[in-house]
A and B are shown apart, each in its own frame.
Chain A
Amino acid sequence: MGADPRQPILRMQGVSKSYGAVQILRGIDLDVEAGQRIALIGPSGSGKTTLLRLVMTLETPEDGTIEVEGELLGLRRVGDRLVKDSGAHLRSVRGKIGMVFQHFNLFPHMSALQNIMDGPVHVRGLSKDQARERALDLLAKVGLRNKADSLPRQLSGGQQQRVAIARALAMEPKIMLFDEITSALDPELVGEVLAIVRELAHETGMTMLIVTHEMGFAREVANRVLFMEGGHIVEDGEPEQVFGNPRSDRTKAFLGAVLHR
Chain B
Amino acid sequence: MNLTVFLPALLKGALVTLEATLLSAAVALVVSVVVGLVRLSRFRLLRGAALVYVEIFRGTSALVQLFYFFFVLPIFGIDLSPMAAGVIALGLNFGSYGSEVVRAAVLNVPRGQHEAAVALNYPPGLAMRRIIFPQALAAMLPPFGNLLIDLLKATSLLSLITIGDLTFAGKSLVQSQGHVTAIYTLVLVFYFVMALMLGRLMQAAERRVPGATAGGGR
Q: Which residues of A contact B (CB under 8 A)?
A: 56-58, 91, 94-95, 97-99, 101, 103-109, 118-119, 122-123, 151-153, 155, 160, 167-168, 171
Q: Are B121 and A94 in contact (CB-based, < 8 A)?
A: yes
**Is B53 interfacial (CB-CB < 8 Å)?**
no
Nearest B residue to A92 via CB reads B121
Do A123 and B121 touch (CB < 8 A)?
yes
Chain B residue, CB-CB nearest to A120: B120
Give the interface of B toward A (CB within 8 A): 110, 112-113, 115-116, 118-123, 126, 130-131, 134-135, 210, 212-218
Kindly state the separation between the CA atoms of A153 and B215 in the bound complex, as whole angstroms. 6
CB-defined contacts of A171 to chain B, threshold 8 Å: 120-121
The main secondary structure of chain B at its interface with chain A is loop
- Across the interface, A105 reaches (CB within 8 A) one of B112, B122, B214, namely B112
Report Cα–Cα, A160/B119, bound state, in Å.
Answer: 17
Most chain B CB neighbours (cut-off 10 Å) among A103, A105, A167: A105
Please, which residues of chain A bring their CB within 8 A of the CB of B123?
91, 123
A123-B215 in contact given A58-B115, A168-B120 (Cβ < 8 Å): no
The residue of chain A having its C-beta at the shortest distance from the C-beta of B124 within the complex is A86
Q: Are A108 and B215 in contact (CB under 8 A)?
A: yes
Question: A-B pairs with the 9 shortest C-beta distances?
Answer: A153-B214, A105-B217, A105-B116, A152-B215, A105-B112, A103-B217, A99-B119, A109-B212, A119-B120
Verify B116–A101 contact, CB threshold 8 A.
Answer: yes
- Bound state CA distance, A74 and B120, in angstroms? 15
Q: Are B212 and A98 in contact (CB under 8 A)?
A: no
A103 touches B112 (CB 8 A): yes
Assess whether B120 is in contact with A106, with CB atoms less than 8 Å apart. Answer: no
Q: Chain A residues near B110: list those with CB within 8 A.
A: 105
Given contacts A91-B121, A105-B115, A107-B113, 7 further A-B contacts (CB under 8 A): A56-B115, A101-B115, A101-B116, A105-B113, A108-B213, A119-B122, A122-B130
Question: A108, A123, A168: which contacts B122 (Cβ < 8 A)?
Answer: A123
Q: Inside 8 A of B116's CB, which chain A residues have their CB?
A: 101, 105-107
Q: How far is the CA of A107 from the CA of B135 in the complex (A)?
A: 9
**Are A123 and B126 closer than 8 Å at their CB atoms?**
yes
**Which residues of chain B are near A58, meaning CB under 8 Å?**
115, 118-119
- Across the interface, do A108 and B212 meet the contact criterion of CB distance under 8 Å? yes
* Distance, CA A118 to CA B214, complexed state (A): 19
Cα-based distance from A110 to B112 in the complex (angstroms) = 15
Closest Cβ of chain B: how far from A91's Cβ, in Å? Answer: 5
Contacts of A56 in B (CB 8 A): 115, 118-119
In the complex, the chain B residue whose C-beta lies closest to that of A109 is: B212
- Among the listed A95, A101, A151, A152, which residue makes an inter-chain contact with B121, where contact means beta carbons less than 8 Å apart? A95
Q: Is the CB of A152 within 8 A of B214?
A: yes
> Are B214 and A108 in contact, with the CB atoms below 8 A?
yes
CB contact between A109 and one of B118, B126, B135 (< 8 Å): that residue: B135
